[in-house]
Structure 1
Amino acid sequence: SLGEKSRALEYFNQALPLLRAVGNRCVEAATLNNIGAVYSYLGENSRALEYYEQALPLFRAVGDREGLSITLNNIGRIFADQNQPEVAIIFLKESVRIRETIRTDNRQLDEQLRQTYITTIEDDYRFLVNLLLQQARIPEAQQVLDLLKLEELRDFTNTRATFTSDGKIRYTDPEQAVLNDHNSLIALGTTILTCEDTNCTDLDRLYRQLEGLKAQYNAQIENFIATIQANRRDDDVFQDLDNLSSEAEDLLIAYQDAGQNAVLIYPFVLEDKLWLVWAAAGGVIGSIEVPITQAELAQTVHHLGRHLKTSGNIQAIQTASQQLYDWIIKPLESELTANEIDHLVFVNDRVTRYIPMAALFDGEQYLLERFQISNVLGLGLTDAIAGFSPLPAVQAELDAIVTQGNNPGVYPGQVFLNRDFTLDNLKTNVLSHNILHLATHAEFVPGRAEDSYILLGDGTTLKTADIDVMDRRLRNLQLVVLSACQTALGGDGGDGTEIAGISSYFLKKGRAKTAIASLWSVNDSSTSVLMQRFYTLLSTGELTQAEALRQAQLSLLYREETADFETRVADSRSLVSVRPRNSAATPTAPGFSHPYHWSPFILIGNGL
């Protein structure tokens, strides 16, 4: 009750001078934190923040990491209550970062004690996850959830992936600027505590310095909020409705000239609704409002992604996928039918960029089975490198793709494996080729494009800055295939604005026309099969890149053995309409029919 809270405040305030007199900083810090909690309960957030900020230097001085993390979490929750989720996330992430250091030190404890600690912090982790999902920052949300797992993250055997859920919390550059100023405040507060205890002569100077730092920190918060708002306004990777008409018309005419009936679908995500803007050839345009909030959409996308990435229950996948289908495709079905559409070109926005559109399910079949799908926006590794597993299927993948020496392949080219797969070899040879195929590990770091990379065979990394430096060397590329993990992810936003990812650096003006990349950690064996089949189909010369990828994906979905796939290839060579399914083929092995294997790869750019 309010009366009890008022009495608690009275007792805490009476205790403070006594604790300061005896120099019990640990209990003093806890008391300040408790006073802040009472004011927060009473709705006096400004006063609550004042006491929390007083507690932080004391916790830092006595080395109480748990007290520090609790207080930072409390500060984050106040910003969340004040409808400043972006600021709240900074403090909540810092709280989680500190708690992960505690968990690291707890590893020598028995499992029951470790689980007890996890139980005490789980609600705070989930609060952060919920806030990240509301902001459509799905990769970060998934990583925080991964941190809660008791078991070690799966190793990288048979997976072209590196998980960033390693206990290291990453911050965007604007977040880091706020955190740096706040940490400076805490450090100075600790210095002032020591000075107060010894009556040092610098106390007045330190007080003045503290006042200046507080003003700087407050300005940094305001600048951070302005930056976030500007990022939303200026998200120009895909999200420019003003430029939609002219660019759309050129794109649609190109597909029409190639004999395709394409529609450009633009899911435009707002906090309280989803707009579906669509355009077909001949200036046919329209829009439909779907009453779904960004938070609800993000939760469903996250649910689908969580099951897809772990090769989860197919019923759960189809349930979530059908819900997304009902929101994104079903409102357009009459238009798709009326215009005899056969190619869907998605200009995805924010959280919809995390959706493998091919895996949307209408209750009977996947979207892949009805349409070509694209999006607008040979080197390899087989040996193990420290911290990464070998990828044995890459050798067979490249042998089947590249004609070199005794390898028949399907395209002439060069193969650089393992220690020959270096940045220098890439720079030297890429100019003379039209297709670049990279089969290796990759790491995506949400919110920090500069830290994302593709692993090279000598243990070094290919980063986005390296791709930019190669600019002119990439001008002859028509197609870049990133047969690695999460190569469609990367960038600065962390809320879906980053989905252009590593692939976008290859697609800048004057570079490659098309990229094929993945949305999550892909399986080595199934990816090798998919890529071999994609190039085999593309080499017939009768299929577009988008259709070749689609047919390769269908061959996995339908569990086609070699004979069935050869029939599919023969059909494409003879210009026979490629059959959606061979009903006579009933292989006993499940193969790679699960969407986990075939749906992560998306085509970005020119699908012809």
Structure 2
Amino acid sequence: MLRLTHLFLTLACLALPARAEEVPFDYPHMPGAAQEFYETARAGEPTAAYNYVLPLFSETGLTDAERRQMTGWLRAAYNGYDHGDATGVLYAAMAAKLLTTLYSELAEHSFALGWANLCIEALGERWEEQEANLTLGQCLEAAAVALNELSRYGEAIEHAGLARQVYKVFAEDDPLRDFYVANTLMLEANALDGLKRHREAIGVSEDALEIFERMEGAESASVAAITANIGASYWYLKELEPARDWSLRALPLLDRHWGPHSYAPAVVRVNLGLIAFDMGEDEKAMRYAVEILPYIATNPRSSLNNQRWTFELMRNIFARRGQVEKAILFGKMAVNAQQEIRALNQSLPEEDTEGLRAEWSRLYRDLADLMIAEGRFSEAQAVLNMEKEQEAFEFLRRDGEAELRDTVAVLTDSEKSDAEKLAELALRPVEARAAWETLSARLAAGGGTAEEEDQLFLLEDAMAEANAAFEAEVEEFLTAVSFDRRAGFAALFDATGAYQSILEARERPSAILQLAMLDDATHLFLTLPGATVHEQVAVPREEMNRMVFDALQAIEARSPEAQARLHALHEVLFAPIRPALETAGTEVVMVNADGVLRYVPFAALHDGSRYLVEDFAFALYVAAVQTQFSRPPRASESAAGFGVTEAHEGFSALPGVASELETLFTAADGEGVLAGQALLDGAFDTRALRRALRDPPELLHIASHFALRPGRDDDSFLLLGDGTRLPLSELRSSKFRFTGVDLLTLSACQTARGGDGSEIDGFGAAALMGGASAVLASLWPVADAATPILMRDFYAGLYQRGEDKAEALRRAQIAMLHGAGAGEAPGESANRAATALKAGPSAGAVSDFAHPYFWSAFVLMGNWL
């Protein structure tokens, strides 16, 4: 729950006397600033620059842009003072104190701490001097605010305590002493809430409340703020009625002092929304959340903390309503607010932001859970990876951006449209308020007319109507359901007779396994030549999604748990139909799967003693493409390769790609399997790729980065060697036709994956739709060290051993599972493949690449002959 933390740090800012010192400086005029200092401030006089912006600190409606502009004036003041003079140091420290406050409000807490520390270091030796005492205490308080925002609560309590000690230099009868002591108590209570010591927090807050009420009266802004914080502490204790009562007591006071579309009232409104949600009052919770949106819309930076709570609340409301698409949208927005805070504070070492990451890790986990339940695996993995501070793997991966704190949860095209509509709606009451403030100020200054007063009354009436209309429009927008589940699987399941005709024409015993998830169960339809089998397993869709996701996560992390998770999938997706396959003597299983079941690495499923790859060859059957099963004569010289080895913006270098292409193509050393041409880096551009497709090679091998942005075809792209990005939308266009390519190998990250299991989403399926006969693509980021070994053996099977694609891939995978060591040289793999189907090599030989992560990433799509 949100706590008010920085309301009172600048109430006693002291104006500084003028000093004649010129520092070149030029900033535009700021409305509301002290105009008598403007010209001398522009001339570079530091005290004038300080005094010019000082009145703005008493304003409650500052925008982020105004805060940013104020930092420029104050930095000029800080730099303009003589830091070798005791008075100059004091004045510079006062400027640093105000900079600390501004940067905290802009969520740049690392900068806030830096300026606070400059102030503390400058004045620490002078803490008993009355003149320096107040500034030092306020800098300690400002540091405590930043530390609270970074979830470094123990340090915040220390700084609040130090500030309290500093203020004791004031005389006991000095009212400033009690006022600032109450401030430190407020900060300490916030930190105690962060440490989950909520009863203590309430006690400390009540001590501060008694001081504020005695000094300022029961309806002051200070009393309202501490009252709101007591309500927050009760919410943490899940004592909802006192939490609601304290918060409701604070809200009208804060509205009066701050205005409804401002920081403090927004804090209390989201708190009341959280309380209402926990009381089961979803409609009331949504109304409070909607009331906050105008403040967020006009203060995108200073509202980041508020955004986390507000969007998380809206996510939870929609999730409880069953409106999962809307829940995911607002879950992404909450995560992105957290990501922006992390990015703004990257200058701090990881250990100093670990508390911030850990406290808000739930945003990532909860959003990922929603996505997993909907089968949106790629997005879920991206979100979970963002929460990490470092790469998941020690090997180079073809996975795009490495600085995870800079990334965001990408909105799909439809989500982006929804967010834009919401932002537009949120601005409407703010625009009406701005017009009212302009006219109201004119009348207050005595320059208005009777007609303008009538206009003001009309505008007030219009504002009330605009607010009501805004809430109604937003509610209508938010409750709209945009997600319709498919009514059936007609497009997925073709006629049984059509499938059997496909199977009867195959030389090798084959079968088609169709998999479909319904809400309450998963269905297995097995088509054999002349027979069909149907099995139903009582695994609901959401549970199956979770099983698949957990297995993929375990594989990618190279976890020892991977085998157990793959065994669990075997039991529900393969074991029920395995007896029929074995009775029919099936060697090749074509998998036609629904949703995320397309992402199951069937070759790596484990029956308790061995992997399925040791008994069956697998290929994905893409129902959206009319696959032509044929096997043309193979010529190793009809091959072309493209690769990226150099680093480009947002992408790491891929040194393994050079080795991969040198291993596969003879042009480099005369020992490769393929005799065609391979182009690297700058030679691999759009023109080169289109030129190759004009007279298409039988085999096209591309090794690069592929960035997947689910739901965003224009932002999903293949990285070319010259650094340009070839969007998925363009790859799907008529510019790139793969007709005539018997096999397209995509040695890049997640090219077999889409957003939610859609069979036409992703690079691999797009290439099949573009005319390629077959595609070898990956289910997860591939290991740079292992890929050349697998590819070399795969191509040796095609061009030297005369195997079909499915068998060549199976044997290459078995070879890596049982024999291909990481240090093995090219050429040593010719005799490492399995000698016969069903008779895999001895399990005694285990290579460095035995984990399924290394050998089962690649799947064959389309024509497996």
The TM tier, using the shorter chain, reads 0.7 to 0.9
> Partners of 1:171 and 1:216 in 2: how far apart?
22
Deviation at 1:392, TM superposition (A): 3.1
Q: Give the SS at the match of 2:341.
A: helix
Closer/same/farther in 2, CA of residues 406 and 242 from structure 1, 3 Å limit: closer
Number of equivalent positions: 584
Deviation at 1:75, TM superposition (A): 1.2
Deviation at 1:111, TM superposition (A): 4.1
Name 1:413's counterpart in structure 2.
Answer: 676
Residue range with higher mean Cα deviation, 525-534 or 470-479: 470-479
Closer/same/farther in 2, CA of residues 247 and 208 from structure 1, 3 Å limit: farther
Deviation at 1:398, TM superposition (A): 2.6
Q: Give the SS at the match of 1:481.
A: strand
Q: Give matches, 1:367-446, under 5 Å.
A: 367-377=612-622, 378-404=641-667, 407-432=670-695, 433-446=697-710
Q: Deviation digits for residues 258-296 of structure 1, max 9, x if unmatched?
A: x211111111012221111111112x1121110112222
Name 2:525's counterpart in structure 1.
Answer: 277
Q: Percent identity?
A: 29
> Partners of 2:465 and 2:590 in 1: how far apart?
59
Deviation at 1:175, TM superposition (A): 1.5
Residue range with higher mean Cα deviation, 320-329 or 243-252: 243-252
> Partners of 1:265 and 1:306 in 2: how far apart?
24
Q: Give the SS at the match of 2:830.
A: helix
Closer/same/farther in 2, CA of residues 77 and 601 from structure 1, 3 Å limit: same
- Asked whether the equivalents of residues 554 and 580 of structure 1 are also in contact (C-alpha less than 8 Å), the reply is no
Aligned with 1:536 (options 793, 796, 801): 796
Q: Give the SS at the match of 1:448.
A: coil
Aligned with 2:256 (options 21, 31, 54): 21
- Asked whether the equivalents of residues 266 and 346 of structure 1 are also in contact (C-alpha less than 8 Å), the reply is yes
Closer/same/farther in 2, CA of residues 103 and 392 from structure 1, 3 Å limit: closer
> Partners of 2:613 and 2:271 in 1: how far apart?
56
Deviation at 1:436, TM superposition (A): 1.1
Deviation at 1:598, TM superposition (A): 0.6
Deviation at 1:600, TM superposition (A): 0.3
Name 2:289's counterpart in structure 1.
Answer: 52
Deviation at 1:242, TM superposition (A): 4.5
> Partners of 1:489 and 1:203 in 2: how far apart?
54
Q: Give the SS at the match of 1:136.
A: coil
Q: Does 1:118 align with 2:369?
A: no
Q: Give the SS at the match of 1:520.
A: coil
Residue range with higher mean Cα deviation, 129-138 or 368-377: 129-138
Higher relative contact order (CA 8 A, sep 6+): 1
Name 1:289's counterpart in structure 2.
Answer: 536
Q: Give matches, 1:377-526, under 5 Å.
A: 377=622, 378-404=641-667, 407-432=670-695, 433-470=697-734, 473-490=737-754, 494-497=755-758, 500-508=761-769, 511-526=771-786
Aligned with 2:371 (options 117, 121, 132): 132
Deviation at 1:406, TM superposition (A): 6.3
Aligned with 1:331 (options 567, 570, 576): 576
Unaligned runs of 5+ in 2: 1-233, 441-455, 623-640
> Partners of 1:296 and 1:285 in 2: how far apart?
26
Q: Deviation digits for residues 148-181 of structure 1, max 9, x if unmatched?
A: 22x3336996323325855211111222222111
Q: Give the SS at the match of 2:410.
A: coil
- Asked whether the equivalents of residues 297 and 423 of structure 2 are also in contact (C-alpha less than 8 Å), the reply is no
RMSD: 3.0
- Asked whether the equivalents of residues 487 and 501 of structure 1 are also in contact (C-alpha less than 8 Å), the reply is yes
Name 1:556's counterpart in structure 2.
Answer: 816
Q: Give matches, 1:303-342, under 5 Å.
A: 303-313=550-560, 316-342=561-587
Deviation at 1:502, TM superposition (A): 0.5
Unaligned runs of 5+ in 1: none
> Partners of 1:9 and 1:372 in 2: how far apart?
62
- Asked whether the equivalents of residues 290 and 471 of structure 2 are also in contact (C-alpha less than 8 Å), the reply is no
Q: Give matches, 1:526-605, under 5 Å.
A: 526-540=786-800, 542-560=802-820, 565-568=829-832, 577=836, 580-583=839-842, 586=845, 590-605=847-862
Closer/same/farther in 2, CA of residues 29 and 159 from structure 1, 3 Å limit: closer
- Which residue identity lines up with residue 400 of structure 2 in the other structure? T
- Asked whether the equivalents of residues 89 and 131 of structure 1 are also in contact (C-alpha less than 8 Å), the reply is yes
Q: Deviation digits for residues 109-140 of structure 1, max 9, x if unmatched?
A: 45454122223212233222222222122222
Q: Deviation digits for residues 419-439 of structure 1, max 9, x if unmatched?
A: 111110111122322211111
Q: Give the SS at the match of 2:746.
A: strand
- Which residue identity lines up with residue 461 of structure 1 in the other structure? R
Structure whose alpha-carbon radius of gyration is higher: 2
> Partners of 2:828 and 2:320 in 1: how far apart?
58
Q: Give matches, 1:232-271, under 5 Å.
A: 232-233=486-487, 240-255=491-506, 259-271=507-519
Name 1:65's counterpart in structure 2.
Answer: 304
Name 1:229's counterpart in structure 2.
Answer: 484
> Partners of 1:347 and 1:448 in 2: how far apart?
25
Closer/same/farther in 2, CA of residues 233 and 402 from structure 1, 3 Å limit: farther
Deviation at 1:358, TM superposition (A): 0.8
- Asked whether the equivalents of residues 429 and 470 of structure 2 are also in contact (C-alpha less than 8 Å), the reply is no
- Asked whether the equivalents of residues 181 and 213 of structure 1 are also in contact (C-alpha less than 8 Å), the reply is no
Residue range with higher mean Cα deviation, 166-175 or 321-330: 166-175
- Which residue identity lines up with residue 411 of structure 2 in the other structure? Y
